[in-house]
């Protein structure tokens, strides 16, 4: 192995030691989570998660996986698409997946709570000839 290859391998190992990456999804929202080993703030799209999610219920959705496994870790999250609730649930899914990479023993607890299951429900597409996915135009006999 050449010295360049050794340096590259070492850099990759250093990066793996710094954070664990996972992707979470819900409806059309996609969250990319970097979970850091060191204690720190949870940042969502460059803001603190409490300022990004004003509703306390959404803030709780994000921190629940960390509370279940009793860990206090920092995270940097990039989330796109969907509404605010779907984004919060996508982040929860991503954090749970990253925690499993961090420690495999967390998998059983997180699976029991339902945080590792990707919710497959999506909005049904609109069909032609209809007003919405299933709503037909009003019919009048006369």
In tens, the pLDDT along 104-115 reads 999 999 999 999
| Residue range 25-46: mean pLDDT, rounded | 92
For the whole model, what pTM was predicted?
A: 0.82
Q: Which long-range CB contacts under 8 A does 37-41 form with residues at least 24 apart?
A: 37/73, 37/102, 38/73, 38/74, 39/72, 39/73, 39/74, 40/73, 40/74, 40/75, 41/74
In a domain, 40, yes or no: yes
Report yes or no on 21 lying in a domain: yes
Q: Which domain holds residue 44?
A: 3-113
Contact (Cβ atoms closer than 8 angstroms) between residue 82 and residue 28:
yes
50 or 6, greater pLDDT: 50
Domain count, the chain: 1
**68 belongs to a structural domain:** yes
CATH number, domain at 43? 3.30.230.10
Do the domain assignments include residue 86? Answer: yes
Domain assignment of residue 140, yes or no: no
Which positions ≥6 away from 116 have C-beta within 8 Å? 93, 96, 97, 100, 107, 110
Given a contact cutoff of 8 angstroms between Cβ atoms, the answer to whether 99 and 36 are in contact is no
Chain segment 62-85, per-residue pLDDT in tens: 999 999 999 888 999 999 999 999
**Would residue 57 count as lying in a domain?**
yes
**Residues forming beta bridges with residue 74, ordered by sequence position:** 36
In a domain, 32, yes or no: yes
């Amino acid at each position: 192995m050449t010295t360049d290859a050794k340096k590259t391998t070492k850099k990759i190992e250093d990066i793996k030691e710094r954070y664990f990456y996972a992707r979470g999804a819900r409806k059309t929202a996609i969250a990319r989570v970097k979970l850091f080993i060191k204690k720190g703030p949870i940042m969502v799209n460059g803001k603190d998660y409490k300022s990004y999610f004003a509703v306390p219920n959404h803030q709780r959705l994000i921190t629940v996986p960390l509370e279940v496994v009793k860990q206090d870790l920092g995270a940097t999250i990039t989330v796109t698409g969907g509404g605010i609730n779907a984004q919060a649930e996508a982040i929860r899914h991503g954090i749970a997946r990253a925690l499993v990479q961090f420690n495999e023993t967390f998998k059983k607890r997180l699976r029991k709570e339902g945080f590792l299951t990707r919710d497959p429900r999506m909005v049904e597409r609109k069909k032609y000839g209809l007003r919405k996915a299933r709503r037909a135009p009003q019919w009048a006999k006369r």
